[in-house]
Chains A and B, each alone.
Chain A
Amino acid sequence: MNLTLYVWRQKNADDKGRMETYQANDISSHMSFLEMLDVVNERLLTDGIEPIAFDHDCREGICGMCSLVINGNPHGPEKGTTVCQLHMRHFKDGDKIYIEPWRAKAFPVIKDLIVDRSAFDRIMQAGGFVSVNTGGTPDANAIPIPKENADTAMDAAQCIGCGACVAACKNASAMLFLAAKVSQYAYLPQGQAERTERVKNMLTQMDLEGFGNCTNFYECEAVCPKEISVKFIAKLNREFLRATVKKP
């Protein structure tokens, strides 16, 4: 198939950036979206044009590196799919495709479609961990955990930290990410010791990074490649209220 791509090009963080148009001809419908970009880049190279820079790593939907807004949808039009797992068969010959980077003040563009997501790392450093003394490996089932809690914590832990929630949110809020990261510990016994400080510290870091506030649009849930539910945002709100009334 033949496609027209409108791609955001930006030399570096200081460049203003602009949309460029490229033709992507003879694209196989079996390719993934990123493979299609690889092909386009090969051709750009032979034409002496700087290839399009975009983030990717595992290309199997687990690392959270890929991050493209395709026709206004973070990770493209398919539900519950990262862009590396998106296949060209979801597009048709003659399609016009807009490719833009995540747009948020807290995620500045480094180059073309690559944004700096280290704000997420700093949120994790503020409380996304449990402090335990290392030693011998504990027995697997030494701490009993109700099945329901274990399942819910696992659902939250599905988050791959790609930032699509921020990209989709009209307020560029990172609330779904934060909610998943706070909830995955809140449901487990290991997370209890630091439960109160965790939510306060991680929330503070999120606010300081310049993300927006959540106003219950639920756009995040709709685009999340791991389909993390906004019920975790409700959980986060409860955790925050709990931390507020609890004396440290």
Chain B
Amino acid sequence: MTNNQPLGFSKASVGKKVLMAITGISVIGFLTAHLIGNLQLFVGQDQLNSYAETLQNMVAAKWMFRSVILILFAIHIWKGIVLWLENRKARPVSYMKDVTLEASVASRTMFWTGALILSFVVYHLLHFTMITTNPEYANLPLDNGRFDVYSMVILGFQNYTISAVYFIALSLMAFHLSHAISSVFQTFGLTKPTILPKLKIVSNLIALIFFIGYVSMPIAVLLNIISLPTGGNL
């Protein structure tokens, strides 16, 4: 007879899975809001800049939101690392002949795509939020007294290397999401054998929508569909 104290929620393997799912959904929620906000790039300079200004002015809300998303992100990363380490330890000797029947490439590379996405997020923050990597953005002339986010984004994406980095990172994100979304439903026990295959397709589709949505911005800039406003003399 075994008489162990049950493991706590966050230590139990299913608990970790649930935490990955909850924090993952939150990040997806953030990605949705972020995408909708950013797509205002297509509306025009005035729209995007006033949107950005509004966000910047809600100081308390902004920092509260940032802390929450940071905590959720941190949990997701931390549990992701724990899962990866434990799962590697669970099979110390690997097979000579290793066969994969069901598991998608995305599902098997979650840790690596996750790690690459994380490094991209760091770069993205340094690039557009803190403008550390391209300090010249700080010299952009003000647009009606507001910081000209619109021109900054266009200037950023006009650089081929930067656009390529975003393109690669966004593909990895879509890849990561393709396994993540269908997984969430299984983790919460919301699947049935009849819907699981469809769910995988839907999951891929949603991932694709995110990819197209985000990547449309650098592409529109590179194709000159969106260009610097006249007077954005740089």
Q: Which chain A residues have a beta carbon within 8 Å of chain B's beta carbons? A: 6, 19, 69, 71-73, 98, 100, 103-106, 122, 125-126, 168, 170-173, 175, 197, 200-201, 203-208, 210-219, 221-223, 229-231, 233-238, 240-241, 244
Q: Provide a sorted-by-A list of 12 A–B residue pairs whose CB atoms are within 8 angstroms.
A: A69-B97, A104-B91, A170-B108, A201-B2, A203-B14, A207-B13, A213-B17, A213-B83, A219-B101, A230-B193, A234-B192, A238-B189
B186 touches A (CB below 8 Å): yes
Given A100-B96, A212-B86, A173-B13 contact (CB < 8 Å): yes
B87 touches A (CB below 8 Å): yes
Among B6, B86, B94, find the residue whose CB has the most chain A CB atoms closer than 10 A: B6
Nearest first, the 6 A-B pairs at minimum CB distance are: A72-B99, A212-B90, A238-B189, A217-B103, A72-B97, A171-B87
The CA-CA distance from A72 to B96 in the complex, in Å, is: 8
- Contacting pair A234 B90 (CB below 8 A): no
Q: Which residue of B lies closest to A16 (CB)?
A: B93
Q: Which chain B residues have a beta carbon within 8 Å of chain A's beta carbons? A: 1-2, 4-7, 9, 11-18, 83, 86-87, 89-103, 107-108, 110, 179, 182-183, 186-193, 196
- Contacting pair B15 A217 (CB below 8 A): no
Contacts of A216 in B (CB 8 A): 107, 179, 182-183, 186-187
- Contacting pair A204 B108 (CB below 8 A): no
Contacts of A201 in B (CB 8 A): 2, 4, 6
- Contacting pair B4 A208 (CB below 8 A): yes
The CA-CA distance from A171 to B83 in the complex, in Å, is: 9
Among B89, B90, B97, B179, find the residue whose CB has the most chain A CB atoms closer than 10 A: B90
Contacts of B97 in A (CB 8 A): 69, 71-72, 98, 100
Choose from A171, A204, A235 the contact partner of B7 (Cβ within 8 Å).
A204
The CA-CA distance from A203 to B17 in the complex, in Å, is: 13
Given A207-B7, A207-B12, A214-B91 contact (CB < 8 Å): no
- Contacting pair B193 A229 (CB below 8 A): yes
The CA-CA distance from A42 to B166 in the complex, in Å, is: 63
Given A207-B12, A214-B13, A215-B107, A125-B2 contact (CB < 8 Å): yes
Given A203-B12, A208-B4, A213-B16, A171-B90 contact (CB < 8 Å): yes
Contacts of A105 in B (CB 8 A): 89-92
- Contacting pair A241 B188 (CB below 8 A): yes
Q: Which residue of B lies closest to A211 (CB)?
A: B90
- Contacting pair B90 A172 (CB below 8 A): yes
Choose from B13, B90, B193 the contact partner of A231 (Cβ within 8 Å).
B193
Contacts of A207 in B (CB 8 A): 7, 11-13
Q: Which residue of B lies closest to A127 (CB)?
A: B2
- Contacting pair A6 B96 (CB below 8 A): yes
Q: Which residue of B lies closest to A98 (CB)?
A: B97
Given A19-B96, A170-B108, A212-B87, A235-B189 contact (CB < 8 Å): yes
Choose from A212, A221, A244 the contact partner of B91 (Cβ within 8 Å).
A212
User: Could you tell me the distance in whole angstroms from the C-beta of B127 to the nearest C-beta in chain A?
Assistant: 31
Contacts of A173 in B (CB 8 A): 13, 87, 90
- Contacting pair A125 B1 (CB below 8 A): yes
User: Could you tell me the distance in whole angstroms from the C-beta of B188 to the nearest C-beta in chain A?
Assistant: 7
- Contacting pair A170 B188 (CB below 8 A): no
14 further A-B contacts with Cβ under 8 Å, apart from A215-B107, A231-B193, A244-B15, are: A73-B101, A103-B93, A125-B2, A171-B90, A203-B6, A206-B13, A208-B4, A213-B87, A214-B13, A216-B183, A217-B103, A217-B107, A233-B186, A237-B187
Contacts of B11 in A (CB 8 A): 207
Given A100-B97, A105-B91, A126-B186 contact (CB < 8 Å): no
- Contacting pair A230 B98 (CB below 8 A): no
Contacts of B9 in A (CB 8 A): 244
User: Could you tell me the distance in whole angstroms from the C-beta of A6 to the nearest C-beta in chain B?
Assistant: 7
Contacts of B5 in A (CB 8 A): 204
Contacts of B186 in A (CB 8 A): 216, 230, 233-234, 237
Given A103-B91, A213-B13, A241-B188, A98-B96 contact (CB < 8 Å): yes
Contacts of A222 in B (CB 8 A): 101-102
Contacts of B192 in A (CB 8 A): 231, 234
Among A73, A98, A125, A213, find the residue whose CB has the most chain B CB atoms closer than 10 A: A213
The CA-CA distance from A208 to B11 in the complex, in Å, is: 11
Contacts of A210 in B (CB 8 A): 89-90
The CA-CA distance from A171 to B87 in the complex, in Å, is: 5
The CA-CA distance from A105 to B97 in the complex, in Å, is: 18
